[in-house]
Amino acid sequence: MKKIAIGVEGLKKSFKTNRVLVDVDFDVQNGEIFALLGSNGSGKTTIVNILSTLMKPDGGKIEVCSFDVLLQPDQVRQNISLTGQFSAIDGILTGRENLIMIAKLRRISNPAQTADKLLAKFSLADAANRRAEKYSGGMKRRLDIAMSLIGSPAVIFLDEPTTGLDPESRLEVWRTIKELAGGGATILLTTQHLEEAEQLADRIAILHDGKIITTGTLTELKKMFPPAKVEFVEKQPTLEEIFLAIIRKKEEL
Amino acid sequence: MTSTTGVLLGRLMRNITRSPDTIITVAITPIMMLLLFVYVFGGAIETGSSSYVNYLLPGILLITIASGVAYTSLRLFNDVKGGLMARFLTMPIKRSAILWAHVLTSLVSNSIAVAVVILAALLMGFRSNAGILEWLAVAGILGLFMLAVTWVAIIPGLTASSMEGATAYSYPLIFLPFVSSAFVPTETMPTAVRIFADNQPVTSIVNSIRVLLYDETVGNDIWVALAWCIAIMVFAYFIAVNVFKRQAR
Ligand SMILES: Nc1ncnc2c1ncn2[C@@H]1O[C@H](COP(=O)(O)OP(=O)(O)O)[C@@H](O)[C@H]1O
Ligand SMILES: [Mg+2]
């Protein structure tokens, strides 16, 4: 049986006159990795902020684990964790201390053991007792994601998990996220890159001009993409080209 | 401690003990001021008090606290900008604990800085005939002042858009003691300045600490000082909590 982990219907949000989210609809199934693909400034972080109870929507019916984000924020918080766009770690603390702190806040019975398990799982055991500010970008991001796993939340938000990372760190983080799949948690991740969505997600939604212009699996979406151009090397279409192609297809219908 | 506030307090205190420069910086400027005023200007300032270091100390302690709370703003600002605040706010934890951890951290670290400055003053000849009750009363007034200015400090910590913005408010706060009875008796000031000096909070706080430390006659100052501290604290608390609620939805 498939159940809906995140339900968004008619979500609207404006900042003064800036209408960021005009009418956003999408559902995320339980246990699925769902990518929200959109260019910079399209409103991805705004959606994540609203779903994670940081921000109020102007309108719409928004549920996480069947709890209304506006009316039942406490219940929503019991079921989620947020890995924001910038690594939310305490740089003065060691990686291990960061994990123990979160475990204590979540009232896990054996914080130290939980921390050590995660350090091993995320290949951070060697750096466990170094200050987190000394970590590389990829290590910081992995620690950040590890902190979000404590307490086994049902829904995990990953806002642009690889933005700002060098290619090697990006691969590391991708591997980490792939390992999370099948762990039972539902993951909503945002990204500006088709390749990242393609690598990680079961289903992809494309956010453009305040609306979800299309949702589907990669194979479903690829049918709507413009063909790859043959130049000296084959080049994947850019996000902008994809938007245009999809919008044109819709108008033809 | 395993309570939410305890865990968050532990984290902030660890931040301070690992970068002790914050406490040292907070204590060193007031100590330099003490040295400067006692050994350079002291001879030229007539206060009617037997020892200038005795006269000076209460005001210097307020300066210590005023510069110390700037770090509270800074720590809070870093949490907001760095994303830790968002992480805490989306966790199933008591929200008030997030701010109270910062407030308690401020009380602990400022108390340490104040103790260091008092030790330095003792070396420079500060003496008091206050008994345990008077010292407790002094601690109470200083604690109340710390609480009041800490809640003031929370507001820019939450709202500032830059590091400078987060701490800029502390400059007038540090400056206030200079236009009070902290360094010279207000009688020596021009009328307009004197009216301001006599009626701003620092003068009454400094005067009441002097009353307690040096057995001076008890006047209204102590009640005026308490009223100021409580008024500022309540006012700043409500603004801070409101800003926090609005930011945290
Ligand atoms: N707190 C805010 N106040 C005002 N405008 C905001 C705020 N947050 C986001 N915006 C605006 O909303 C738009 C979408 O931002 P965001 O959700 O961060 O996009 P993305 O994460 O896709 O890059 C941008 O134009 C941004 O300037
Ligand atoms: Mg964003």
| Both structure tokens of B34 | 């003490």
CB A83 within 8 A of CB A148: yes
For chain A, the first-to-last Cα distance in angstroms comes to: 33
**Ligand 1 atom closest to Cα of A159?**
21
Chain B nearest CA to A53, separation (Å): 7
> What CATH number is given to the structural domain containing A242?
3.40.50.300
**pLDDT tens-digit readout, B82-116:** 999 999 999 999 999 999 999 999 999 999 999 99
Q: Assess contact for A92 and B19: CB atoms under 8 A.
A: yes
Q: Specify if A135 maps to a domain.
A: no
B164 CA → ligand 1 middle, Å: 24
The SS3 of residue A160 is coil
Residue type, A222: K
Asked if B18's CB is within 8 angstroms of A84's CB, the reply is no
Task: Name beta bridge partners: B27.
Answer: none
| Average confidence (pLDDT) over B62-90 | 94
pLDDT at A231: 63
Instruction: Count CB neighbours of A224 within 10 A.
Output: 16
- What is the rounded CA–CA span in Å between residue A233 and residue A235? 6
Residue B82 is nearest to which of A52, A82, A88, comparing CB atoms?
A88
Report the distance separating Cα B95 and Cα A234, nearest Å: 52
Is-contact A64 A28, C-beta < 8 A? no
| Other CB atoms within 10 A of residue A189 CB | 24
Q: What is the pLDDT of residues A151-166, one digit of tens each?
A: 999 999 999 999 888 8
- Whether residue A49 is contained in a domain is answered as yes
- Cα of A48 to ligand 2 centre, how many Å? 9
Residue A58 is assigned to a structural domain of this protein: yes
The sign of the CA dihedral A63, A65, A67, A69 is negative
Q: Which residue of B has its CA nearest to A92?
A: B15
Do the Cβ atoms of A55 and A73 come closer than 8 Å? no
- Domain total of chain A: 1
pLDDT of residue A1: 44
With a 6 Å cutoff on the Cβ, whether A38 touches ligand 1 is yes
Asked whether residue A109 is assigned to any structural domain, the reply reads no
Q: Which residues in chain A have their CB less than 8 angstroms from residue B83's CB?
A: 84-88
Record the tokens describing residue A157, joined without a space.
């938000």
Task: Say if residue A110's pLDDT is above 60.
Answer: yes
Q: What is the share, in percent, of chain A residues with pLDDT greater than 90? A: 71
| Chain center to CA of B59 | 11
Q: The domain containing residue A28 runs over which residues?
A: 4-79+153-252
- State the pLDDT at residue B102: 97
Encoding tokens for residue A154? 């049902």
Backbone angles phi, psi at A56, to 5 degrees: -90, 135
The distance in angstroms from the start CA to the end CA of chain B is 28
Please write the tens of the pLDDT for every residue from B38-50: 888 877 776 666 6
Q: Is residue A10 part of a domain?
A: yes
Model confidence over B160-200: pLDDT tens digits? 999 888 888 888 888 899 889 888 888 889 999 999 999 99
Residue A138, in any domain of the structure: no
Q: Which residue of B has its CA nearest to A84?
A: B83
Place of tokens 């206050």: B130
Q: Which ligand is nearest to the CA of A38?
A: 1
Which residue is associated with the tokens 């109270």?
B100
Which residues, by Cβ under 5 Å, contact ligand 2, an ion? A 44-45, 85
At B249 the pLDDT is 66
- Do A56 and B87 lie within an 8 Å CB cutoff? no
Closest residue to A82, CB basis, from B82, B86, B92: B86
Tens digit of each residue's pLDDT (9 = 90 or more) over A25-80: 999 999 999 999 999 999 999 999 999 999 999 999 999 999 999 999 999 999 99
**Residue recorded with tokens 């200015």:** B149
Alpha carbon distance A134, B107 (integer Å): 29
